[in-house]
Amino acid sequence: MVKYIPSSLDDALKFLNEHDSYIVAGGTDMMVLKRNSAGLLPKFDKDVLFISNLKQLRKIYEDKEGIHFGATATMDEIYNHDLTPKLLKEAIGEVASINIRHFATLVGNIANASPAGDTIVVDYLLDAKIKLESVDGVRIVNAEDFVLGIRKIDRKPNELITEIIFPKLKYTGRMWFKVGSRKADSISKVSVAGIYSLNGNKISKFALAFGSVAMTVKRSHELEKEIEGLSVEQLKDRCEEFVERYAKIISPIDDQRSNKEYRLQVAKNITRKFILKVVEAAK
């Protein structure tokens, strides 16, 4: 097994092209997944590429495409940056502990592809794009298409995720809601993020994304398009209808943190709360 620290991005891409490797930046998920008995090194069964030293991947900047967060930028750095969308800051603020956030990365959270990954919910909701680079070139993938299932992502063995890009969406209201066993250091039982915009009495933007309630984060563009264009009175009158229809797109499971009936009811309650928040905002 080779443990490699590249001197540049080009060096890293060349190594990946020649070695099937685990990629480690913060390592907060990887160290758990590959943990060993106490006192023993992690159980890595293939080569490891460490990229945390690559300063060119630590950049946070804005251009016409949107706001770019480099692969090695830590959640703490992103949380404290002026360019970071407030909704993303709210989600990051409830990821693990401040100690973990000093090492964990936004890119690592989506690369880990856990249904309970808090920031993945925001990635879906804000139409984030994943930038992958290899010796063969650059590829851009929508966050919704990038996560294929639990621990499964659309990344070729020789590709490195170099950035996650958030387009500059305009919306007037937002909501982040996470339910866990305690207020801090808790893995989500259910997480929901929402955004909306109003044009007078009409809904011009409406979006909801749900975490920890299916194999991947769930979002319904079909329901969003149906709601957009409605008046707030129509949305209020059809509130329970939309709550039930959103409930049909999720498929929670029983696990050590919660049961599916609880998750379903919580998701419905939060959906209702968000819809009524939109209605109230029009007053």
What are the residue ranges spanned by the domains of the chain?
3-166, 173-281
Question: Selecting from 3.40.50.2000, 3.40.30.10, 3.30.465.10, 3.60.21.10, what CATH number does the domain 3-166 have?
Answer: 3.30.465.10
Portion of the chain with pLDDT greater than 90, in percent: 81
Alpha-carbon dihedral sign for residues 32, 36, 39, 45: negative
pLDDT tens-digit series, residues 114-154: 988 999 999 999 999 999 999 999 999 999 999 999 999 99
Cα-flanking dihedrals φ and ψ of residue 78, to 5°? -70, -40
Buried-exposed string 155-177: b where 16+ CB fall within 10 A, e elsewhere: beebbbbbbbbbeeeebebbbbb
Average pLDDT of every residue of the chain? 92
Q: Place 283 in a pLDDT band, splitting at 50, 70 and 90.
A: confident
Q: What is the pLDDT of residue 186?
A: 58
pTM of the model: 0.93
What's the CATH fold of domain 173-281?
Answer: Enolase-like; domain 1 (3.30.390)
* β partners of residue 179: 190
Q: Which residue has the tokens 């060349």?
A: 14
DSSP the chain: --EE--SSHHHHHHHHHHS-EEEESS-TTHHHHT--STTS-----SEEEE-TT-GGGS-EEEETTEEEEETT-BHHHHHT-TTS-HHHHHHHTTSS-HHHHTT-BHHHHHHHT-TT-HHHHHHHHTT-EEEEEETTEEEEEEHHHHEEETTEES--TT-EEEEEEE-----SEEEEEEE-SSSSS---SEEEEEEEEEETTEEEEEEEEEESSSSS-B--HHHHHHHTT-BHHHHHHTHHHHHHHHHTT------SS--HHHHHHHHHHHHHHHHHHHHHHT-
Domain pair 3-166 / 173-281, same fold:
no
- CB 9, CB 133: distance < 8 Å: yes
End-to-end CA distance of the chain, in Å?
A: 63
pLDDT at position 185 over 60: no
40-63: pLDDT as tens digits: 667 778 999 999 999 999 999 999
- Of 258 and 93, the structure prediction assigns the larger pLDDT to 93
